[in-house]
Structure formats: structure tokens, C-alpha cells
Chains A and B, each alone.
Chain A
């Protein structure tokens, strides 16, 4: 059974903290994605990666960075969390030949 896991389901942080969100997939997928989901705005792409150590900016990369040191792991980093980064964060992966994205369960981040 294919699986994408995220390190936390719920996370509460304070303004200015450095936050790491981890995503791991066990499908040997080349492509991995980070989205944030907000009411009325749908899913917006933050960053994606098509290979180890490769990264591309999505639509809303400001305030975020990513790291992909190993194929199975894609990390999203908030260098200095702000209240407007309170959101649901969804990770996904996709194989090179298949267009279907497989999603993790999401991390609901609250920044106080």
C-alpha cells in the first residue's frame, strides 16, 4: 500500500520560531510537492522537487524554503514563522511516468 507520511498532524508554534515539516514517501517517487490549503483558496503550491537536491518554486514560496537530501524525504522549512503561515500543509509525491499525486494526511500548523 502506497504511503506518504507527514511528521505531525497538529503543530503549534510561536511567531519567529523556525519550523520544520517533514514528509516521507515509500514509493520511490521522483517528484514531491508541498502545498498549503486555506479556506476559499484551495491548495496553493509552495515548492516542488523533481529529484534529489533539486527544487523549484511554486506559486507562493515567500517565507518558506525546502530541502531534499534523500529521494524519499522532502522537508518544508519556515525560517521565522509568522501568524499568516497558520494553515494546513499537505505533502504529495508523484512518479515520473504517472500523473497521479499521492497525498499525506496533512499537518495543521498554528502560529501564535
Chain B
């Protein structure tokens, strides 16, 4: 399968805590992106990291990429109840567009 895989599948944390989710993939990539999906809706782009980058920050988001291990992690710091959503990694290469299976994050107020 070409699917990316996230772990954990589900994560429940208290507001203010950090949330970390991981993504592994099988193919060679040009870049890796993370998307967020609120219940039953379309996906929204969060952050992109290129294959020659190792770490990237955007607000409370921190993404790392290890191309030798074909893996990435997304860290959300100081989580809020509004961060409750599903998070998907997406890898793209030449005519390849692959989404992971997603991590369901629940942030408890």
C-alpha cells in the first residue's frame, strides 16, 4: 500500500498540554504537508516542509522531517479545545498524492 500512516490513531489530552503525532510513509517525496479536518468537513492546510528541510515552525505548530526514516512528526504546543480535530499528513512526489490515515485529537477543557 502507498498509504501514509499516522500514529497514534487517537489521542486525548488536557487543554494546555502538548500533542505529538507521527507520520510514516513509503515513497520518495518532494515535500510533506499536514492538514487538519474538523468533524465531517473538508481539510485545511496547516504547514508544509520540503524534503531538504528538517524542522519548521508556524505559530504553535512544529514539524520535523526525517527522510532517512521516512517519517515526520507534528507537535502542537499549548493545545486548546478548538484544536480538537483529525490531523493528516500528506506526501507528494511526481504525480503522487498520498494521505495518511489520520490521528484523531481530542483536547479536553
Is chain B found bound to chain A in the same assembly? yes
Using CB atoms and an 8 Å cutoff, list the residues of chain A in contact with chain B. Answer: 4, 33, 35, 40-45, 48, 56, 58-59, 88, 90, 92, 99-106, 108
User: Which residue of A45, A102, A106 contacts B41 across the interface (Cβ within 8 Å)?
Assistant: A106
**Tally of contacts, chain A with chain B, CB under 8 A:** 55
Contact status of A100 and B2, CB under 8 A, knowing A41-B101, A42-B88: no
How far apart are B79's CB and chain A's nearest CB, in angstroms?
A: 22
**CB of B31 within 8 Å of the partner chain:** yes
Task: Say what secondary structure dominates the interface of chain B.
Answer: strand
CA distance A59 to B100 in the complex (A): 13
CA distance A4 to B42 in the complex (A): 10
Known A43-B43, A90-B43, A100-B45; further 14 A-B contacts with Cβ < 8 A: A33-B97, A40-B101, A42-B88, A42-B99, A42-B100, A45-B97, A59-B2, A92-B42, A99-B31, A101-B43, A103-B43, A105-B42, A106-B41, A106-B42
Give the residues in chain B near A105, CB-CB below 8 Å: 41-42
CA distance A48 to B2 in the complex (A): 16
Number of residues in B with C-beta < 8 Å to the partner?
Answer: 24
CA distance A101 to B102 in the complex (A): 17
**CB of B40 within 8 Å of the partner chain:** yes
